[in-house]
Structure 1
Amino acid sequence: MRPRSRHVVAASAAKVGALAAFVAAASGVAAAHVEYVTDAENGDPIAFLTSALSDPVVVLALGAGGVAVVGTMAGYLRVQPLRADVAAIRRALVDYADLLPWLLRLSIGLPMVGAGFAGYLFTPLVTAADTAVPVRLFGVAVGFALLFGLATRFVAGVALASYLVLLPVHPSLFFAFEYVAGLLAIGIVGGGRPSADHVIARLAANDETVYSRFDPFYRRIAVPAGEALDPYRRYVPTVVRIGMGIVFAYLALAEKLLAPNQALAVVEQYGLSTLLPVPPELWVLGAAVTELFLGVLLVAGLFTRAASTAAFVVFTTTLFGLADDPVLAHISLFGLVSVLLVTGAGPFSADLAVFRSPNERGAPEMGPDAVRAAASEPSEASGTTRSVERSADRNPNDADR
């Protein structure tokens, strides 16, 4: 090959690499809930993939992007740079552990209130006209109860049971599967603080208050329930992580790969190929591969905080890029990935095996005692809460990246 030809090939490779990087960064714009913004038919996924993968630009861009991402991950695992910076960030995030129940309640309560006022049930795909459930009353009542932290576990249990019962009748509810993870996590940790439950528990735990003489729930129900659920608090990060991973994987498959015409309609509707002059198929496959990859990382619990950060970027670019995508329907997603930024991966994760080397054990993480302390209610005797900082320092090896 002549020198000039080699330069041309090198220049072309550089352009393809840059293109792949841009598509990977911008693919979040096409990674919305496609069902929320278009009514197009699903289309033929086999024909779509055959056509898309026969285009060299699509194949080279996806391949270069995949090599870049995997290479970056492998390089980080080998070198592990900025250890002190990473440890400082993790310590700072653990400091927010006491706000974990509140963050969970906001993540689910706000979109529930919004869904109630907007007239849909969990997802905009199931409206009041589609179900016999009093959608507005249900959404507003559940949402405000969670926001105030009133009868938190009971309300979360009712909402979760309602979702699971209605799912076979309305399969579209699966597009809001993050509610299962969020409501289950709330049911485990309870209201935490600040919450109405916390204030009521303080009153009931103090034998000198008038309220403590009449309250029928605290010692008979709340305390035994808390003690029964206490061993499972350490699994809250795992529940949220796997739930969010399933959501990402499902959206990649159901809204992009198995419904390509809908995704292509979104690309055309918002002029994404004008923003970046590449085949529309590259936008769709780029979004699908990004979501599927994030889903796999979250389910496996590998690079959990990095994957959660990437997910946050995807949601943000989606909301800015697709003006018709309902903001309220995404608050639960924003909130739950924020939970993972605080907690890390939790038990049963690859991060525990990969990153918890002896050299890193000085950096505290969201261990099981920290999760328990974050969600703790007043003890029966004293009404005090445990220290998150002490529990995190005492158990530096019980959590994840």
Structure 2
Amino acid sequence: MQRLATAPAHVEYVVDGAPSVRAIQFLVDVLSNPTNAALLGIGALSVLAAMAGYLRYRPVQSDVQALRDALTDYEAFLPWMLRLAVGLPLVGAGFAGYFFSPSVAAPTRIFQVAIGFLLLFGLATRAVAAVGLAGYLVGLAVHPSLVLASEYVGGFLALLLVGSGRPSADHLLHRVADAPNTTFGRIDPVHGAVSWFNEAIEPYRQYTPVVLRLGLGINFSILGFWEKLANPGPALAVVEKYDLTTVVPVDPGLWVVGAGLTELAIGVLLLAGLFTRATAAVGFVVLTTTLFGLPDDPVLAHVTLFGMTSALFVLGAGPYSIDAYIHDRGAPDETPAHDV
């Protein structure tokens, strides 16, 4: 069997030169161990049983509804959350000298620093997000490994939909331009066009959870499948480097397969929009555990994932999701565009 090449990946931020490992043979070896197979089977059945039990019996519904009501108040802060989630890592990437992902050297630092600071200030937010998205797509065409930073696509698209919000420079300038008899309102050459564009895009704001789900779902799926299940060599090296088997005393191969299946499951559930808030919360915990477990992992490279999972926890699944389908079927405790 041909040996699979190892692609630049998140795990290679913390380990270099790991040997390639035959993925199919690796999975066969791990799953042929009865203990490994039993632990994976028990874990999978437990998750499925918990999901089915929730859908069937709907426990703690008053608590769930109270949480949803509370999170509705946080939706006003969504643009600010997304601007921080995308702007901060871009500024950090520019000064650190990498282009969106630590695996790709930056051709110039000015581009990312400028995009990042403009997003943090909330100045020309939608236009800046469009430029940032175009820059990422051009970089992806040149460096396919940037697919591992695909969460930026969802982040930029979400900012295009929600705009700058408040507090932001856009909001302040808009208020001044709209005020009667202001000099700025008379000389501002773009206020009218910006106001028209904002009104035109407003009906599409409801799709913000969809683009966030797609961006995060694709990213988690890639991290789980490609980084770990299809290329287990670097992941095994991470387990060995940090002696993770002393934290959870299982076979190193089970560590890799378990982590890969967990991230892949998170990605698939987000793409499907099933148990979206709960899945986003699990994804946040997985990211947090990774950062605490891998002390030399670059934190800034994951800030966008943290911010987007937080935003999705606030918003829920949105349209085109199984959660929305459950609501449409008349589940009494569901609310539109939200999830269990």
Q: TM-score scaled by structure 1?
A: 0.80
Residue 61 of structure 1: how far off its partner (Å): 0.5
| Structure 2 residue 232 is matched with structure 1 residue 272 | no
Task: Give the whole-Å Cα distance in 1 for the aligned partners of 2:135 and 2:57.
Answer: 48
Residue 359 of structure 1: how far off its partner (Å): 2.3
Deviation per CA, 1:152-175: give whole Å up to 9, x if none: 111111110011112121111111
Task: Give the whole-Å Cα distance in 1 for the aligned partners of 2:280 and 2:337.
Answer: 20
SS of structure 1 residue aligned to 2:142: coil
Task: Give the whole-Å Cα distance in 2 for the aligned partners of 1:151 and 1:183.
Answer: 13
Match of 1:58 in 2: 36
Q: Which residue of 122, 127, 142 corresponds with 1:154?
A: 127
Deviation per CA, 1:65-84: give whole Å up to 9, x if none: 00111001111111000111
| Structure 2 residue 14 is matched with structure 1 residue 37 | yes
**358 and 44 in structure 1: CA distance in 2 versus 1, 3 angstrom threshold:** closer
User: Does the CA contact (< 8 Å) of 1:106 and 1:146 recur in 2?
Assistant: yes
Residue 46 of structure 1: how far off its partner (Å): 1.2
| Amino acid in structure 2 at the alignment position of 1:208 | N
User: Does the CA contact (< 8 Å) of 2:209 and 2:317 recur in 1?
Assistant: yes
Residue 229 of structure 1: how far off its partner (Å): 1.1
| Amino acid in structure 2 at the alignment position of 1:37 | V
Map residues 370-381 of structure 1 onto 2, 5 A cutoff.
none
Q: Which residue of 166, 172, 186 corresponds with 2:145?
A: 172
Residue 258 of structure 1: how far off its partner (Å): 1.1
| Structure 2 residue 142 is matched with structure 1 residue 142 | no
**360 and 215 in structure 1: CA distance in 2 versus 1, 3 angstrom threshold:** same
Task: Find the structure with the greater CA-based Rg.
Answer: 1
Residue 207 of structure 1: how far off its partner (Å): 2.7
User: Does the CA contact (< 8 Å) of 2:318 and 2:336 recur in 1?
Assistant: no
Match of 2:323 in 1: 351
Q: Which residue of 315, 321, 325 corresponds with 2:287?
A: 315
Residue 208 of structure 1: how far off its partner (Å): 1.6
Q: Which residue of 150, 153, 165 corresponds with 1:192?
A: 165
| Structure 2 residue 69 is matched with structure 1 residue 91 | yes
Map residues 353-372 of structure 1 onto 2, 5 A cutoff.
353-355=325-327, 357=330, 359-360=332-333
| Structure 2 residue 99 is matched with structure 1 residue 121 | yes
Match of 2:256 in 1: 284
Residue 117 of structure 1: how far off its partner (Å): 1.0
**399 and 65 in structure 1: CA distance in 2 versus 1, 3 angstrom threshold:** closer
Task: Give the whole-Å Cα distance in 1 for the aligned partners of 2:21 and 2:124.
Answer: 46
Deviation per CA, 1:161-215: give whole Å up to 9, x if none: 0111121211111111000000011012111111000000111111321110100
| Structure 2 residue 58 is matched with structure 1 residue 80 | yes
Q: Could you tell which deviates more after superposition, 58-67 or 34-43?
A: 34-43
Match of 1:12 in 2: none
Identity %: 55
| Amino acid in structure 2 at the alignment position of 1:298 | L
| Amino acid in structure 1 at the alignment position of 2:321 | S
Q: TM-score scaled by structure 2?
A: 0.94
SS of structure 2 residue aligned to 1:360: coil
Residue 250 of structure 1: how far off its partner (Å): 0.5
Match of 1:214 in 2: 187
Task: Give the whole-Å Cα distance in 2 for the aligned partners of 1:102 and 1:318.
Answer: 25
User: Does the CA contact (< 8 Å) of 1:42 and 1:258 recur in 2?
Assistant: no
User: Does the CA contact (< 8 Å) of 2:277 and 2:339 recur in 1?
Assistant: no
Match of 2:305 in 1: 333
Task: Give the whole-Å Cα distance in 1 for the aligned partners of 2:300 and 2:210.
Answer: 25
Task: Give the whole-Å Cα distance in 2 for the aligned partners of 1:276 and 1:234.
Answer: 42
User: Does the CA contact (< 8 Å) of 1:207 and 1:213 recur in 2?
Assistant: no
Q: Which residue of 222, 233, 243 corresponds with 1:261?
A: 233
Task: Give the whole-Å Cα distance in 2 for the aligned partners of 1:398 and 1:310.
Answer: 20
SS of structure 2 residue aligned to 1:319: helix
Residue 355 of structure 1: how far off its partner (Å): 4.5
Match of 1:384 in 2: none
**41 and 232 in structure 1: CA distance in 2 versus 1, 3 angstrom threshold:** farther
Residue 276 of structure 1: how far off its partner (Å): 2.5
| Amino acid in structure 1 at the alignment position of 2:210 | T
Task: Give the whole-Å Cα distance in 1 for the aligned partners of 2:20 and 2:321.
Answer: 35
User: Does the CA contact (< 8 Å) of 1:150 and 1:196 recur in 2?
Assistant: yes
| Amino acid in structure 2 at the alignment position of 1:72 | A
Task: Give the whole-Å Cα distance in 2 for the aligned partners of 1:348 and 1:282.
Answer: 34
Residue 399 of structure 1: how far off its partner (Å): 4.0
Deviation per CA, 1:90-116: give whole Å up to 9, x if none: 000110111011111011001111111
Match of 1:235 in 2: 207
| Amino acid in structure 2 at the alignment position of 1:276 | V
SS of structure 2 residue aligned to 1:168: helix
Residue 34 of structure 1: how far off its partner (Å): 1.1
What is the aligned length? Answer: 330
CA RMSD of aligned residues (A): 1.3
Residue 127 of structure 1: how far off its partner (Å): 1.2
SS of structure 2 residue aligned to 1:95: helix
